[in-house]
Structure 1
Amino acid sequence: MENVLLIVHLILALCLIGVVLLQRSEGGGLGIGSGGGGGGGVMSGRAAATALGKLTWLFAIAFIATSIALTVIAAQKSSGASVIDQLGATPVEEETIPAIPAGSDLLPPSTGDVSLTPPAATE
């Protein structure tokens, strides 16, 4: 059921994108203006805009409905358990870091009375 609803949701998303892209720009937001487009046709410019507007609303309402339905299905499947509990695996315990004995030095032992600074560069 969830897979069928997800496929319908994706098809609605593509249809909604297509219908929005087919609509004519009325504000001229990109400088194109509302002019242009074919003159003749079965439907007039106003009737086509109204039909595409209604189709956009229909697709938008159906898209929101499928979004809510998918959310409800996902919430029912979650059942408040963690993913690890659903897999039946035990959680990984943290590794313990071995303790460093007191008085031990993390630097390598120095040989004699040699300084730890690098030698000066000579030409």
Structure 2
Amino acid sequence: MENVVLIIHLLLALALIGVVLLQRSEGGGLGMGGGGGGATAGRSAATAMGKLTWILAIAFITTSITLTIIAAQKSAGSSVLDRITDAPAPATEEAPALPDAGDTLLPPSAGDDAPLTPTAD
């Protein structure tokens, strides 16, 4: 059941994206600039693409709520904290051995016997 609703949900999402991209641009994104469009011009006549967008949006929200309800029913009676306490304790690992003094990547300190600059002999 969950897989069927999930597949329908994904198809609705793709269809909704396609319908929105196919619609004519009104210009003046978010009602700014572009003069006279958007919220200032009043409500325009509903087109077939606009109605289809509303239908797909309502169906998408419905499948979203349905998936949420199904997921809540599947997890009823169990808690994340219950799963954590039931899990076995992780095995302790020993810290890796420190490298020898000659294998270090740090430059020698001022107190070391090694010269700081190479000498040409």
Normalization by structure 2: what TM-score?
Answer: 0.58
Q: Identify which of 66, 81, 86 aligns with 2:79.
A: 81
Moved over 6 A (4+): 106-109
Mapped partners of 1:69, 1:117: distance in 2: 74
Higher helix share: 2
Deviations 1:11-65 (A, max 9, x none): 1011101111111111165xxx9xxxxxxxxxxxx98x61100000000010011
Mapped partners of 1:96, 1:17: distance in 2: 50
Fraction of identical pairs, as percent:
60
Where 2:63 maps in the other structure, the secondary structure is: helix
Structure 2 gap ranges (5+) = 35-43, 102-110
- In structure 1, the partner of 2:108 is none
- 1:18 partnered with 2:31: no
Mapped partners of 2:16, 2:51: distance in 1: 11
Asked whether the equivalents of residues 84 and 91 of structure 1 are also in contact (C-alpha less than 8 Å), the reply is no
Pick closer, same or farther for the CA change 1:71–1:20 going to 2, 3 Å. same
Figure out how many residues of one structure are paired with residues of the other and give that number.
92
Mapped partners of 2:16, 2:9: distance in 1: 10
Letter in 1 for 2:112: L
Normalization by structure 1: what TM-score?
Answer: 0.58
Equivalences for residues 24-103 of structure 1 within 5 A: 24-27=24-27, 29=29, 50-79=47-76, 80-82=78-80, 85=83, 90-95=87-92
